[in-house]
Structure 1
Amino acid sequence: MNREAFRERIIRLNCALDLERKAVGIKFLHTKEDYHFADAKPVTVPINYCVMVRLATQGKALKADGNNLACLAGARALGLKEIDAYHRSGQNGKKLGLYHDMPTAKRARDGMSYCDHQAFGIMVKPLEDYDSEPDVVIIVSHPYNIMRIVQGYSYYSGIQSAFKMTGNQAICSESTAYPYLSNDINVSLLCIGTRHKAGWSDQELAVGFPISLFRKIVDGVMNTVNIMDNNQKKEIIERKLLENEIDDLEIKYDYNYYR
Structure 2
Amino acid sequence: MNRELYMETIIRLNCALDLERKAVGVKFLHTEEEYQLAAAKTITEPINYCVMVRLATQGRATKAIGNNLACLAGARALGLKEIDAYHRSGQNGKKLGLYNDMPTAKRTRDGMSYCDHQAFGIMVKPLEDYDSEPDVVIIVSTPYNIMRIVQGYSYYNGMQSNFKMTGNQAVCSESTAYPYLSNDINASLLCIGTRHQAGWSDHELAVGFPIGLFTKIVDGIMNTVNIMENNQKKEVIEKKLLANGIGELKIKYDFNYYR
- Equivalents in 1 of 2:29, 2:121: separation in Å? 5
Partner SS for 1:122 = strand
Q: How far off is 1:155 after superposition?
A: 0.1
1:203 equivalenced with 2:203 (yes/no): yes
* 1:1-259 aligned within 5 A: 1-259=1-259
Name structure 2 gaps, 5 residues minimum: none
Instruction: Give SS of 1:140's match.
Output: strand
- Take 1:149 and 1:178, find their aligned partners in 2: how far apart are those partners? 17
- Give 1:192 shift: 0.2
What is the identity, as a one-letter code, of the residue corresponding to 2:98? L
Distance 1:151 1:224 in 2: 8
Alignment RMSD (CA, Å)? 0.4
Deviations for 1:119-140, whole angstroms, at most 9, x for unmatched residues? 0000000001111110000000
Take 2:237 and 2:132, find their aligned partners in 1: how far apart are those partners? 27
The Cα shift of 1:217 comes to 0.1
**In structure 2, C-alpha distance between the alignment counterparts of 1:99 and 1:66, rounded to whole Å:** 27
Report the secondary structure of 1:149's partner residue: helix
2:122 aligned counterpart, secondary structure:
strand
The alpha-carbon deviation at position 105 of structure 1 amounts to: 0.1
What are the Cα deviations for residues 94-117 of structure 1, in whole angstroms up to 9, with x where unaligned? 000000000000000000000000
The one-letter amino acid paired with 1:143 is P
- C-alpha separation between the residues in 1 aligned to 2:39 and 2:230? 40
Shift of 1:60: 0.2
Q: CA deviation at 1:168?
A: 0.1
Q: Point out where structure 1 has 5 or more consecutive residues left out of the alignment.
A: none
Post-superposition CA distance 1:44-64 (Å, at most 9, x none):
011100000000000000000
Deviation beyond 4 Å, 4+ runs, structure 1? none
- How many residue pairs match? The answer is 259
State the Cα distance separating 1:153 from its structure 2 match.
0.1
Q: How high is the TM-score relative to the length of structure 2?
A: 1.00
What amino acid does structure 1 have at the position aligned with 2:83?
I
Give the percent of matched residue pairs that are identical in Structure 1 and Structure 2: 85
SS at match of 2:60: coil
